[in-house]
Chains A and B, each alone.
Chain A
């Protein structure tokens, strides 16, 4: 258990080896990267068992440091690098290590033949190391460090094919946008530190729960903290980078932009939720509202998107919003449950999409279709993923969505609940659309469809392995399942905020949501079946709305306009100011003034002797007169 630090350390070591020796290793070292993440995944189990043992031994809950090193220390300031494992960590840990393993295995085939194949695995290792550090960090600073680390890996991987201009731009956009959120995150961290005197998460929580912070101050601090989550987890208004991030290789999208990195924000808020609770209510309201806005916005945008990966990206945003709504409702259980299952089914969807792209080299749904027959495994697993996303019982997504709806119903107003329900409908609608357009009916591009075929086992096995938790993952809500696995109970018994949440099946909500979801699926089927005549008609009838959606509510355009005209405008003005006013006027001007003064004064030197003599005489007379006037004491 104390060796939990090995979990991130192994991939980190792999990264260093790959970076230095990668080009000289057989197969450019992909096996090393996979072996490293595999080792991490394996190491997850002893950690889990230790934790479970600890919980079983003491039902008061488990709180404990695993290992920590002093990094910086002087009186008044200490930073330790420490690792910490609790139930929330475990949930995240399993998602990260498992999905990472799957994705890396998948990548061996997917990335085969890429000129930067070795580099890809090196960065993947670095990402794994950073992400695992983020998960295990016992203090906010280390978390922040890892947070930036994953952001940087994301930058590198989005821009993996940097020869494409769009990839380069997307990488930049992603990095910069998340950094904006990180501004707030860092401010929040320092604000929390300032009063508590520590970066340790548990100590801060303890401090906050004991009322150590002034509540307004704390509210401000947690809202800043939340900014980090907004950036990282793509919440409105910083969601713009995630769809563009699909420029990266698809396995990357699956790992980073679906299962792991983007949920870091959720994870962080979940970790810090006691602090959020201790702050004014407005803090959690902000979380809820922004989550909800994101949910609705992304769901509607998903309706209009045509790129297969972008649609899934919108669905990711959608899911993330869902998690924040759960967190806003003070339910760690619901949020983490959703996070848990989402990691599996979303990466499944991405990998499925990747398989499609791999097979057809197309990713616009308008050019796909009719692949069901050619790629049965992909189609089937993809369908499972879609089902989970839509929330079809008994797939994992259903249970998680049900938890979220339940807490929303109990904690939030009816309006919010209704809006969430509407989003469920829209989700069902566009997921159905996606599936239909991609796999069913006539291929739009026959040539591509003809050449499509199922990938090798390295592609399909991960799909299948991911499909398993997608199907059954949700069952962890049941106490009996949990107990069977050796846990004290179901998910709610395992991960909770104030007291264990025993899973109760709310039939009314389940029925309601299932009905809405099915309605969505059916509507979608009707609209997009065959030649999608209904959908086309609706689109034509509501073309302004369609345009609005396909232009992503113009938010990107507004930002772009703002950057071009305001930020760069200010920058241009300042550069101009710097050169013309500060430098040419202020600096050169004062130099010029001296120069000019010298130029004027030099004409006193007329070259004529009598003038010189006059100078001497005047000087003497003036000194004499002044001396007499000032010094003679009469």
Chain B
């Protein structure tokens, strides 16, 4: 076991723990905190995968924006004042479906010999990513900007209070 693997297992454990925390925690604030843990751990994974750029994006977007947004939303919806939402009778089926999917996908990926498979993690240069993003992938980039505008517009319109509210 190389040191990389050790780090991997550690980070992976954090990811799983965080994720499990999100889905099982009774208190929603705890869930949110676990989410931050999981997201940060994933960012660490990205670094392991030599995708530092994405790790940064991850930390900035999720660690910053998304979690803050979620916490804000929870405060706005005063989740504390409400009785803890029970998890319904669907839980066993949920578990069943999730486990079935987990097993299936695990078997699938482990049974697959991906073509050109190597154990080497290739370092992808920062600048080549940015190059690609603004040349080859310029169009999705543009469209993504429209998506963001739509989301922004939608969020504002829907969230803002109207007269008489």
Contacts and interface: CB of A to CB of B under 8 A. Distances in A.
5 contacts: A611-B90, A614-B93, A618-B93, A618-B97, A625-B104
A247 to B, nearest CB: 83
Contact of B100 (A610, A611, A625): A625
A614 B100 contact: no
A284 to B, nearest CB: 88
B104 A628 contact: yes
A610 B90 contact: yes
B90 A617 contact: no
User: A-B pairs with the 8 shortest C-beta distances?
Assistant: A617-B97, A621-B100, A621-B101, A610-B90, A624-B104, A625-B104, A618-B97, A614-B93
Nearest to A625: B104
Nearest to B88: A610
Nearest to A618: B97
Given A628-B104, A628-B108, A621 B97 contact: yes
Interface string B96-138: 0110110011011000000000000000000000000000000
Given A618-B93, A618-B97, 8 more contacts: A610-B90, A611-B90, A614-B90, A621-B97, A621-B100, A624-B104, A624-B108, A628-B108
Contacts of A614: 90, 93-94, 97
A580 interface: no
The binding surface of chain A is classed by DSSP as helix
A538 interface: no
B113 to A, nearest CB: 13
Interface string B54-78: 0000000000000000000000000
Majority SS of interface residues in chain B?
A: helix
A625 B107 CA distance: 11
A610 B89 CA distance: 10
A618 B93 CA distance: 9
B107 to A, nearest CB: 8
A167 to B, nearest CB: 80
A620 interface: yes
Contacts of B90: 610-611, 614
A617 B107 CA distance: 18
B142 to A, nearest CB: 30
A546 to B, nearest CB: 89
B96 to A, nearest CB: 9
A624 B107 CA distance: 12
Contacts of A628: 104, 107-108
B60 to A, nearest CB: 30
A158 to B, nearest CB: 82
A629 to B, nearest CB: 10
Interface in A597-614: 610-611, 614
Nearest to A634: B111
Contact of A620 (B88, B93, B101): B101
Nearest to B90: A610
A618 to B, nearest CB: 6
Contacts of B108: 624, 628
A611 B104 CA distance: 22
B123 to A, nearest CB: 33
Contacts of B101: 617, 620-621, 624
A354 B24 CA distance: 111
A614 B107 CA distance: 22
Interface string A440-456: 00000000000000000
A286 to B, nearest CB: 82
Contacts of A621: 97, 100-101, 104
A1 to B, nearest CB: 101
